[in-house]
Structure 1
């Protein structure tokens, strides 16, 4: 028997704002709230335990922005990389510099709280 990733937890100063951002980016919906202020988001109609992991935005007073030991990579599903980049920037992402050369096939971005993530080139089918 093996394990699989069911959810990813991100520390957030403003869970509401990050939940809205990541829902826009991933096409997720809010699926739950906890008494501690955590907000869980996931794929519509699937939720926790579905084929894709959910994200839990967990409130903390001072999360560490920037380079996380783990970061998210996202791929476009219904448009090319440049069109998706435009959409992510409009949703509130900002370019992040982690020492790229400019020759990479991906874009490094940061969410509204400064957490870095990458937009990869390959277009994936929707799940």
Structure 2
């Protein structure tokens, strides 16, 4: 038997702000609040096919590029339309050395955590 990822824990200075942002990006909902931490996940809750995200308060700001990042794909629109939606939600474009020939966009969430918007559209989970 193997393990699977059920939760991703993210230290941040403003858990509510990041929870709101990632709920908008992923179509997630708030599942739990506990001592300043916010857990978000798919409307079906914890334990499904998608991991939940837990934002833990941490007063220390991010100092360097994270060793891990999220890649996201749109489920219902092309990459350009999804890019506009993410920018309107509070993401910003960043340059980490990508070129115009790359098929992805590198973005940062409201606290500067990098993530990539990939080109391919995927089916929503469960479809």
TM bracket, shorter-chain basis: over 0.9
| Cα distance, 1:63 vs structure 2 | 3.5
SS in 1 for 2:4: coil
| Cα distance, 1:69 vs structure 2 | 0.9
| Cα distance, 1:50 vs structure 2 | 1.0
SS in 2 for 1:112: coil
SS in 2 for 1:108: strand
Alignment root-mean-square deviation, CA: 1.0
Residues paired across the two proteins, number: 125
TM-score by length of 2: 0.95
- Please name the residue that 1:39 is paired with: 38
| Cα distance, 1:72 vs structure 2 | 0.4
SS in 1 for 2:115: strand
TM-score by length of 1: 0.95
Give runs of ≥4 in structure 1 deviating > 3 Å: none
- Please name the residue that 2:3 is paired with: 3
Runs (5+) with no aligned partner, structure 1: none
SS in 2 for 1:10: strand
Runs (5+) with no aligned partner, structure 2: none
